[in-house]
Structure 1
Amino acid sequence: MTRIDATFARLRAEGRKAFVTYIMCGDPDLETSLEVIKGLPAAGVDIIELGMPFTDPMADGSTIQLAGQRALDAGMTMDKVLDAVREFRRENSTTPIVMMGYYNPIYSRGVDRFLAEAVEAGIDGLIVVDLPPEEDAELCIPAQKAGINFIRLATPTTDDKRLPKVLTNTSGFVYYVSITGITGAAAPQAADVAPEVARIKAQTDLPVIVGFGITTPEAAQDIAAIADGCVVGSAIVSQIAAGKPVGDVLAFVADLAEGAHRG
């Protein structure tokens, strides 16, 4: 059982939904980023998605793209991302960390080397947005063999013919992208999302977590209520981009977490 599996088992036992957050590692700099990461669990975050900065983030909206650019400008590298996870693990051995990004930095490093380092650092899952199921042999299956969950995205355009392929070899949870388009787009409506979540859950026992466009505690509550939890990313990254003090960023996260957990 991975840390992700254990987290969902605990949440089910407690009758609570999961609150997942995304931040870009190294934004606006490594020191500030690490302070935020370390504070997320106490703010109510159940799973942390940690962005790997990349020069061509094609699936991301401007908020996440700019965060990645700030991180790169501050000197972030894959080595430093892994070191940040190691530093987090010195204080926290239970909160799952999912590394989210693109395949190129992993491919450049070498899959075997990357997975060995990821396991050693304490990474629990991967979301690699530009590797389709047809390429499972590249990273997905090796990651699973190494004990790292490989989490897939399903979208409103993932039809009933495509969905079984997407779910094959997926583990940890399914990330349902509630709206078409890029990150940071329009807010999702629970009434529109609920049938899609039900459609996915009819074909898998994995938890379904909904993300994209959630910006308020009320929205987090509404979306978490019709799924197994929700993800907030761009709204938190925007707080960091605005130069808010770490304490204010974490207070914003805590309000969102309360909403999600009420769901």
Structure 2
Amino acid sequence: MSRIKARFESLKAEGRGALIPYLQAYDPDLETSLALLKGMPAAGADLIEIGVPFSDPSADGPTIQAAALRGLKAGATLAGVLAMVRAFRQNDSDTPIILMGYVNPIDSYGPARFCVDAAEAGVDGLIIVDLPKEESDLLSADAQKNGLDIIQLVAPNTPDERLPYLLNTASGFIYYVSITGITGTRTASHDELAAALPRLRAASSLPVAIGFGIRTAEQAARAASVGDAAVVASALIATLASTLENGKASSATVPAVLDQLADIARAVRGT
């Protein structure tokens, strides 16, 4: 059983939803982002999404765009991100790790080689934002061969008739993009989320993680109770950015982000 499936089944038995925090690899430097990654499980992360810095992050708002640029300036590469996951796995063999990114770096790396190396490093799932289902054969066979879940994105304006096509080969969980737009902008209301979930449940038995626009502990708790997980990204990155001094990490950077994550985790677990 994959780590992702095992984690969702464990949380279902506990009767609660998951919290999935996001961090941008190498933001603002490798040492700081690795310290955050290692500290997230103890702060309440159930699964962790790692952003792979890319020069044209078209789905991301200004906060994550800035984080990606900081990561690239710090020397981030796809191979470096996999090494970061490998270092995390030295002390954590249970927490699922999902890489979120764009297809160009994977295509340049070599899709078959990437899937082998990602699985060996300890990656569990992939969210490739700009890889449509129609082009998914670039990765799907190699991902499946190496036990990597390809996590499908579904938006509010995805037609009902397209859902079975999108989800018939999806695995891990469904990532519900709760707004039409880029990350970190507006937040979907409770009524919007409650109305969206039944059609996803009708199309697939996979868990549903809700992301894009979840900024507060209250919003995360609501999303994790309506769906099966809440993804929190821009809010954590904004906190990190607020602690930087001349673009570099300060002594407050790691504690500030992990304290915020712990507050959100308490809200999610209390729902």
**Pairwise same-fold verdict (TM > 0.5):** yes
Does the Cα contact within 8 Å between 1:175 and 1:208 map onto a contact in 2?
A: yes
Deviations 1:10-47 (A, max 9, x none): 10111111111111000000000000000000011001
Q: Distance in 2 between matches of 1:140 and 1:200?
A: 22
Map of 1:145 onto structure 2: 145
Report the Cα distance in structure 1 between the residues aligned to 2:112 and 2:225, rounded to whole angstroms. 39
**What residue is the counterpart of 2:34 in the other structure?**
34
Equivalences, count? 263
Q: Is residue 184–residue 215 contact of structure 2 (8 Å, CA) maintained in 1?
A: no
Contiguous gaps of at least 5 residues in structure 2: 244-251
2: CA distance, partners of 1:153 / 1:54:
19
RMSD over aligned CA atoms reads: 0.9
Give the structure-2-normalised TM-score.
Answer: 0.95
Once the two structures are superposed, what CA deviation does each residue of 1:101-134 show, in whole Å capped at 9, x if it has no partner? 0010000010111111101100000000111111
Aligned partners of 1:187 and 1:212 also within 8 Å: yes
SS of the residue 2:85 aligns to: helix
Please tell me the residue identity of whatever aligns with 2:11: L
Shift in Å, 1:138 = 0.7
Letter in 1 for 2:261: V
Please give the alpha-carbon distance, in whole angstroms, between the structure 2 residues aligned to 1:6 and 1:210: 19
Judge conservation of contact 1:97–1:124 (CA < 8 Å) in 2: yes
1:159 counterpart residue number: 159
- Classify the secondary structure of the residue corresponding to 2:160: coil
CA distance in 2, matches of 1:76, 1:202: 40
Structure 1 residues 209-248: aligned runs within 5 Å:
209-243=209-243, 244-248=252-256
Moved segments of 4+, more than 4 Å: none
Q: CA deviation at 1:77?
A: 1.0
Tell me how far 1:80 sits from its aligned partner: 1.1
Distance 1:178 1:202 in 2: 17
Find the aligned partners of 1:211 and 1:259 in 2 and give their Cα distance. 16
**What TM-score, normalized by structure 1, do the two folds share?**
0.98
Q: Deviations over 1:222-263 (max 9, x none)?
A: 121111111000000111111242112101001111222233
TM superposition shift of 1:168: 2.1
Distance 1:35 1:62 in 2: 24
In 1: Cα distance, 2:141 partner to 2:185 partner: 31
1:141/1:169 contact within 8 Å kept: no
> 1:104 and 1:119 mapped to 2: Cα distance?
19
Q: Do structure 1's residue 20 and structure 2's residue 20 form an aligned pair?
A: yes
> Structure 2: how far apart are the matches of 1:12 and 1:123?
22
Aligned pairs for 1:114-133 (under 5 A) are 114-133=114-133
Give runs of aligned pairs for residues 9-158 of structure 1, distance below 5 A: 9-158=9-158
C-alpha contact (below 8 Å) 2:112/2:139 kept by paired residues: no
2:201 maps to 201
Query: 1:175 touches 1:210 (CA, 8 Å); kept in 2?
Result: yes
Percent of residue pairs bearing the same amino acid type:
51
* Counterpart AA for 1:73: K
Report the 3-state secondary structure (helix = DSSP H, G, I; strand = E; otherwise coil) of the residue aligned with 1:200: helix
Amino acid in the other structure paired with 2:3: R
Contact 2:49 2:98 (C-alpha < 8 Å) held by counterparts? yes
Residues 142-161 of structure 1: CA deviation (Å, up to 9, x unaligned): 21221000001100110111
Q: Does structure 1 residue 262 correspond to structure 2 residue 270?
A: yes
Aligned to 2:49, the other structure's residue is in SS state strand
Cα pair 2:41 2:95 within 8 Å, conserved: yes
Q: Which residue of 1 aligns with 2:182?
A: 182
Q: Deviations over 1:160-217 (max 9, x none)?
A: 1111121121100000011110000112211111111111011111000101111111
Specify the SS of the correspondent of 1:99.
Answer: strand
| Cα distance in 2, alignment partners of residues 162 and 185 from structure 1 | 26
Contact 2:16–2:225, Cα closer than 8 Å, also in 1 = no
Aligned residue in 1 for 2:257: 249
2-structure distance, mates of 1:232, 1:248: 15
Contact residue 229 and residue 260 of structure 1 kept, 8 A: no
